[in-house]
């Protein structure tokens, strides 16, 4: 008979739970919901997805599951009339002989456990005299068991059910039921949160999606990091423990080729070796394809004056116009200049309203104060008019200041640069500029409120120790990331073309010289 392989059992358990959770995710359509949040650029498609391992979910569910079961059993027990520590007849009974028929199997088990506690205490005192806390715990457990034994020997019952005392919906049971419902909601939340953490491989980049979801598409927080395929230096798949090796999960670490860039890590990934091989194969394939295609287009353009069709930049799909009350004060967000190919974003209009809270509070409380002062004759009519004019003047100036301060905060994307401008209405200007060549990673983050309203922070990481950019509170941050990635791809292609211009210029002049000296032989077909 073939010897039983314990690793086969682990693999079977792993396949079973992977299939079970995949079926649940597919049934509720969770994977499709989360993948739909990824803004794919033109020609981009998803090739492979890796989720977190089911053991991570089990580790998170242990505590809420224990809480739910414990309080659920307790509520059911009380609902059928259950009580604890009940004395038969309402008074203690005298026990003349210690070892009587009342020494049932439970009492004998308690006596044996107390004896074991005593032996462990004595052994600890002899072999490890310094473990004082350990002996204190043994004494506490032994004392509790001794009290429990005495209680049972006096005729007491630890568990007692009286149907006449059933109280399924009293205040205590309602609290217990609420705790059970809370535990169940917590389990659902942890499952959805676990299901939407994923590492996504497309034909252009690797994306790490990390979301905290309460209600999908309504109340959720998003965080997305990425690294371009052509910027990947190495991919590491590690399983550092026996359990990780047995159940085939571990950490995928993607190292950037740029100095100073952060690595992209995805912990507890299911089948990390599969993702590693998929990324490495794609990196190798794309490097060859891009080189051949780029060289062909460059030679056609430089030597034979055949220019490839130029891809026109497209206006944003989602333009924020703000509420009707503010539309005369606000321009579209973003502003797209088709002639220059530039995008200009402002923070979400919600933060203009937030900035205007102060002036309106001043106006409201000021009007109330002036009216009360006039009513109690603290102000004459003339002074009341002066106070009203002064209040309105302060309100208007403050409001205009806040509006202009909002308008002066700009995030600009050009075909070659990104620009972050912070300027006060009549004060200094802080302008931060970086070339698209320096951008190494573009990611975005949203809060629960930001995801619901439609704004977030876009973080642009630069190479070489330069200052990082943060486009704070911009509308539709996922679309902002998509547009920046498209511009960066186009810029990189242009940089590659410019780096070979000198060599192609030499080849072009050499080709013209060959024609002048009749060195080219054209074979007729």
- pLDDT tens digits for 392-416? 999 999 999 988 888 888 899 998 8
Cα(78)–Cα(273) distance, rounded to whole angstroms? 51
- The kind and range of the H/E element at 206 are strand 205-215
Q: What angle do CA 311, 348, 443 make, to 5 degrees?
A: 55
Q: With contact defined as beta carbons under 8 Å apart, do 25 and 195 qualify?
A: yes
Q: With contact defined as beta carbons under 8 Å apart, do 346 and 333 qualify?
A: yes
One DSSP character per residue, 462-514 reads ESTTPPPEEEEEEESHHHHHHHHHHHHHHHHHHHHHHHTHHHHHHHHHHHHHH
Cα(87)–Cα(75) distance, rounded to whole angstroms? 22
One DSSP character per residue, 26-85 reads HHHTHHHHHHTTS---TT--EEEEEEB-HHHHHHHHHHHHHHHHHHHHHHHHHHTTEEEE
**pLDDT for the residue 100:** 43
- Surface-to-core class of residue 123, CB atoms within 10 Å of its CB (0-12 exposed, 13-18 middle, 19+ buried): exposed
**How far is C-alpha 135 from the geometric centre of its chain's CA atoms?**
45
Per mean pLDDT, which range of 61-70, 93-102, 296-305, 416-425 is the poorest? 93-102
Domains of the chain (ranges; CATH) run: 324-503 (2.30.29.30)
**pLDDT for the residue 435:** 84
φ, ψ at 486 (rounded to 5°)? -65, -45
> pLDDT: is 341 or 181 the higher one?
181
Given a cut of 80, is residue 243 above it in pLDDT? yes
**pLDDT for the residue 124:** 77
pLDDT digits (tens, 9 = 90+) for 11-54: 888 888 888 888 888 888 777 777 777 777 777 888 889 989 99
**pLDDT for the residue 127:** 67
pLDDT digits (tens, 9 = 90+) for 348-373: 888 888 889 999 999 999 999 989 98
Given a cut of 50, is residue 228 above it in pLDDT? yes
**How far is C-alpha 89 from the geometric centre of its chain's CA atoms?**
60
**How far is C-alpha 109 from the geometric centre of its chain's CA atoms?**
50
Name the average pLDDT for the chain.
79
**pLDDT for the residue 182:** 93
Q: What angle do CA 149, 71, 134 make, to 5 degrees?
A: 50
Per mean pLDDT, which range of 88-97, 318-327, 472-481 is the poorest? 88-97
**pLDDT for the residue 398:** 93
**pLDDT for the residue 303:** 57
Which stretches of 154-271 are DSSP H helices? 171-195, 242-247
pLDDT digits (tens, 9 = 90+) for 75-112: 998 888 887 777 764 444 444 444 444 567 777 888 88
User: Looking at residue 268, what DSSP letter applies?
Assistant: E
Q: Which of 101, 117, 103 is nearest to 149 (CA)?
A: 103
**pLDDT for the residue 425:** 82
Cα(294)–Cα(173) distance, rounded to whole angstroms? 72
Q: Enumerate residues 6+ apart whose C-beta is below 8 A from 305.
A: none
**pLDDT for the residue 321:** 64
Given a cut of 90, is residue 183 above it in pLDDT? yes
**pLDDT for the residue 174:** 93
Rg (alpha carbons) of the chain, rounded to whole number: 36
**pLDDT for the residue 445:** 85
One DSSP character per residue, 272-319 reads HHHHHHHHHHHHHHHHHHHHHHHHHHHHHHHTS--PPPPPPPPPPS--
Distances from the Cα of 197 to the Cαs of 117, 171, 190, 240, 401, in angstroms?
Answer: 46, 39, 11, 21, 43
Cα(317)–Cα(480) distance, rounded to whole angstroms? 11
Q: Which of 486, 22, 492, 49 is nearest to 279 (CA)?
A: 49
**pLDDT for the residue 287:** 62
**pLDDT for the residue 2:** 46
Given a cut of 90, is residue 113 above it in pLDDT? no
Given a cut of 70, is residue 423 above it in pLDDT? yes
Percentage with pLDDT > 70 across the chain? 78
Cα(18)–Cα(37) distance, rounded to whole angstroms? 23
Cα(202)–Cα(286) distance, rounded to whole angstroms? 12
Average pLDDT over residues 441-457: 83
Distances from the Cα of 206 to the Cαs of 33, 63, 229, 373, in angstroms?
Answer: 19, 33, 7, 66
Cα(134)–Cα(385) distance, rounded to whole angstroms? 80
**Between helices 6-28 and 171-195, what is the axis angle to 10°?**
100
Cα(462)–Cα(231) distance, rounded to whole angstroms? 13
**pLDDT for the residue 155:** 72
**pLDDT for the residue 184:** 94
pLDDT digits (tens, 9 = 90+) for 504-524: 677 667 767 777 777 666 554
Q: With contact defined as beta carbons under 8 Å apart, do 439 and 462 qualify?
A: yes
pLDDT digits (tens, 9 = 90+) for 269-278: 999 989 989 8
């Amino acid at each position: 008979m073939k010897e039983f392989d314990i690793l086969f059992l682990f693999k079977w358990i792993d396949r079973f739970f992977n299939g079970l959770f995949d079926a649940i995710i597919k049934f509720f359509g969770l994977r499709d919901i989360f993948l739909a949040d990824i803004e794919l650029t033109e020609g981009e498609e998803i090739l492979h997805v890796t989720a977190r391992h089911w053991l991570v979910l089990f580790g998170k569910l242990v505590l809420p599951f224990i809480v739910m079961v414990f309080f659920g059993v307790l509520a059911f027990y009380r609902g059928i009339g259950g009580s604890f520590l009940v004395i038969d007849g309402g008074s203690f009974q005298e026990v003349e002989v210690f070892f009587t028929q009342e020494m049932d199997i439970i009492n004998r088990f308690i006596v044996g456990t107390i004896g074991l506690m005593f032996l462990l205490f004595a052994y600890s005192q002899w072999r490890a005299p310094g473990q004082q806390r350990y002996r204190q715990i043994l004494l506490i457990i032994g004392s509790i068991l001794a009290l429990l034994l005495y209680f049972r020997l006096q005729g007491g019952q630890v568990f007692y059910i009286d149907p006449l005392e059933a109280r399924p919906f009293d205040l205590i049971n309602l609290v217990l039921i609420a705790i059970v419902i809370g535990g169940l909601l917590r389990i659902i939340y942890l499952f959805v949160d676990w299901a939407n953490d994923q590492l996504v491989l497309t034909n252009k980049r690797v994306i790490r999606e990390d979301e905290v979801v309460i209600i999908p598409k309504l109340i959720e927080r998003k965080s997305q990091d990425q690294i371009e395929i052509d910027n990947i230096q190495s991919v590491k798949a590690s399983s550092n423990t026996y359990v990780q090796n047995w159940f085939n999960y571990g950490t995928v670490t993607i190292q950037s080729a740029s100095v100073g860039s952060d690595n992209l890590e995805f912990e507890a990934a299911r089948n990390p070796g599969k993702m590693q091989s998929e990324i490495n194969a794609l990196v190798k394939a794309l490097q060859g394809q891009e080189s051949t295609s780029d060289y062909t287009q460059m030679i056609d353009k430089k030597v034979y004056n055949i220019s490839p069709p130029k891809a026109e930049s497209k206006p944003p799909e989602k333009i924020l116009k703000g509420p009707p009350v503010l539309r005369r004060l606000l321009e579209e967000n973003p502003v797209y200049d088709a002639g220059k190919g530039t995008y200009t974003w402002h923070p979400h209009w919600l933060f203009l309203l937030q900035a205007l809270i102060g002036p309106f509070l001043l106006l409201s409380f000021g009007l109330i104060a002036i009216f009360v002062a006039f009513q109690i004759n603290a102000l004459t009519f003339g002074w009341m008019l002066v106070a009203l004019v002064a209040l309105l003047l302060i309100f208007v100036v403050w409001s205009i200041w806040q509006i202009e301060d909002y308008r002066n905060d700009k995030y600009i994307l050009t075909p070659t640069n990104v620009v972050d401008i912070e300027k006060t209405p009549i004060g200094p200007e802080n302008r931060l500029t970086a070339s698209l060549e320096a951008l190494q990673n573009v990611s975005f983050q949203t809060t629960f409120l930001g995801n619901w309203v439609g704004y977030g922070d876009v973080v642009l990481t630069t190479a070489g120790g330069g200052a990082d950019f943060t486009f704070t509170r911009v509308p539709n941050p996922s679309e902002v990331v998509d547009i920046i990635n498209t511009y960066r791809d186009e810029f990189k292609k242009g940089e590659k073309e410019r780096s070979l211009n000198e060599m192609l210029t030499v080849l072009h002049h050499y080709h013209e010289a060959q024609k002048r000296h009749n060195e080219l032989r054209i074979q007729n077909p």
